A and B are shown apart, each in its own frame.
Chain A
Amino acid sequence: MSAYFPGFSASGLLPAVSPDPLPFTLMSNETTKIPVCPVSELGPGERKIIEHEGEYLAVLNCAGQLFGIEDRCSHDDGPLAEGEIDQEACTVECPRHGSLFDLRTGKPKTLPAYQPVKVFPVEVIDDTIILEV
């Protein structure tokens, strides 16, 4: 595993799932909790995109598990979260050029993207989905 680009492993083609801490969580200890929507509004295979301080973020429901990612493909900065969700593989596909991103880690599994996107913790409090940014 490259120490510089945790998205890419030396042996697998693109990426291996890694338990490494995410770059975002290393960068800041201050977090903001953003209510997204009632949990009942986000079924499996669905997504909710929100805007927070000028950035687009998304919560995706993958087979009942909730994942928070930035809504930006690292390849060309276009929107990512509206792409197809593969609930079995736990990936979202960039709708423009087809890179697959692992929702658990934010790492790309296929080119042309080669850098990870940010991921955020998600929790449910009182039936409301909360994104921790």
Chain B
Amino acid sequence: MATAEVLAEKEKVQGINADYEEKFGFHDPETGYAYKAPKGLTREIVEQISEYKNEPDWMREFRLKALEIFESKPTPQWGADLDQIDFDDIHYFVRASEKVSQDWSEVPEDIKNTFDRLGIPEAEQKFLSGVGAQYESEVVYHQVNEKLEAQGVIFMDMDTALREHEDIVKEYFSTIIPASDNKLAALNSAVWSGGSFVYVPKGVKVEMPLQAYFRINTENMGQFERTLIIAEDDSDVHYIEGCTAPTYSTDSLHSAVVEIVCKPGSRVRYTTVQNWSQNVYNLVTKRAVAQERATMEWVDCNLGSKITMKYPSIYLLGEGAHGEVLSIAFAGEGQHQDAGAKIIHGAPNTTSSVFSKSISKDGGRSTYRGLLEVADGATGTRSKVVCDALLLDEESQSDTYPTIRIGESDADMGHEATVSKVGDDMLFYLQSRGLSEEDASKMIVNGFIEPVTKELPMEYAVELNRLIELQMEGSIG
């Protein structure tokens, strides 16, 4: 890249570096909110949420049972430090608007301004098939392309889906991630609100992505969206989610559950660009099942949050199914990105790949935690796991915890892990070509994550690169 271009790009980056605070870290006044639950989690709060949403009895009972499970399970101690979370100091349900609008002009003014600033309506017009915008606990805006609706594609918020498609929701809800799966899944099951429901009928290919954008506004807020995607036989869909929150001095909690069913021959790609502010605990359970010949792909970019614990899983349960996880984690000062992937080969001739990239700087910590399992009887499986970690300074940390269980002798498994530092020789070489130390370092990082960014739609790849550059600002020296 020529020096002039680098300088121009640097100016742009510095423009963005009007920083998180300005771009994403702002918050709106809470005037006009329809309801804000008091802090703390009780049976009454759970019953209230269910009542507010006018849910069927089975869902209310499911929530109450999940609350008991949540209370009975200890906080996990095997990963990042979660002991600082005060579950009694969180608002579990905040309703900012009374309804889900399909017309942007009907969205309450403050909320509309927020999403305008985040560029959501613009993105919808340009390159999306449908968009959902969740603000606090509920979705405030949802729109789907008419052509897709005519093809039978359902894309709506989960609360509406429970009312309008109760039979489909009931058939699949919590079958991939039961409430007992883990403490945070139990919490989500008790107080879930919002999230997306996607149903793609047999043979339908959704050409442009569907997107959901999640925004927390309130301080000490918990957001617990629940997403369910069902791709019928030979269908194809790409779902993208983005998330941001204001910067506060106290912590918020985001604990989502995402369940995906890929029927035979279908393909689902689920892309996340997570950019929560650095006071958010991001503890998410994501799991997909891939049946015969189906393909499931997670593209997972973790940039923000205080602590992230997220291990997208794929159960390959039909012959010939394929799973892929592409993951980037960026851990800056005070951040711990504990991310990874789980692939379970439960059927013969299944294939998978996990490609994980992490970057740590300013004392940040990134962890790769993965599981690769080949069940008895799952012959002819192939899998490759590559974890690369890049450390930008002496204080930062990277850990890798791969678990591999192989039940068949003919399985073809590969695991590669590298840890590298941005070395003086690399910087010197680039500086000898006229780049500053900072630009050289950015270029190395961009090259490092390029295998993942090239899998993103262009608009997101650009955004991701810029976010990483933003995170990189001031990292050298």
- Among B75-83, B96-104, B168-176, the stretch that binds chain A is B168-176
CA distance A5 to B317 in the complex (A): 8
Q: Are A97 and B180 in contact (CB under 8 A)?
A: yes
Interface residues of chain A: helix, strand, loop or mixed (majority)? loop
CA distance A8 to B263 in the complex (A): 12
Q: Are B178 and A4 in contact (CB under 8 A)?
A: no
CA distance A110 to B181 in the complex (A): 11
- Which of B176, B261, B319, B344 touches A2 (beta carbons < 8 Å)? B319
Q: Are A10 and B318 in contact (CB under 8 A)?
A: yes
CA distance A11 to B180 in the complex (A): 25
Q: Are A11 and B178 in contact (CB under 8 A)?
A: no
Interface centre among B69, B178, B317, B347 (most CB of A within 10 A): B317
In the complex, chain B residues whose CB is within 8 Å of the CB of A95: 180
Q: Encode contact with B along A1-41: 1 for CB under 8 Å, 0 otherwise.
A: 01011001011011000000000000000000000000000
Q: Number of contacting residues on B, CB 8 A?
A: 32
How many residue pairs bridge A and B at CB < 8 Å? 77
CA distance A11 to B69 in the complex (A): 31
CA distance A31 to B9 in the complex (A): 76
Q: Are B178 and A5 in contact (CB under 8 A)?
A: no
In the complex, chain A residues whose CB is within 8 Å of the CB of B287: 111-112
Q: Number of contacting residues on A, CB 8 A?
A: 22
Q: Are B348 and A4 in contact (CB under 8 A)?
A: yes
Q: Are A98 and B317 in contact (CB under 8 A)?
A: no
Q: Are A4 and B292 in contact (CB under 8 A)?
A: no
Q: Are A5 and B347 in contact (CB under 8 A)?
A: yes
Q: Check: A93 CB closer than 8 A to any chain B CB.
A: yes
Q: Check: A120 CB closer than 8 A to any chain B CB.
A: no
Q: Are B178 and A98 in contact (CB under 8 A)?
A: yes
CB-contacts of B65-86 with A (<8 A): 69
With known contacts A2-B347, A13-B261, A98–B179 Cβ distance under 8 A? yes
In the complex, chain A residues whose CB is within 8 Å of the CB of B318: 2, 8, 10
Instruction: Tell me how far the C-beta of B100 lies from the nearest C-beta in chain A, rounded to whole angstroms.
Output: 27
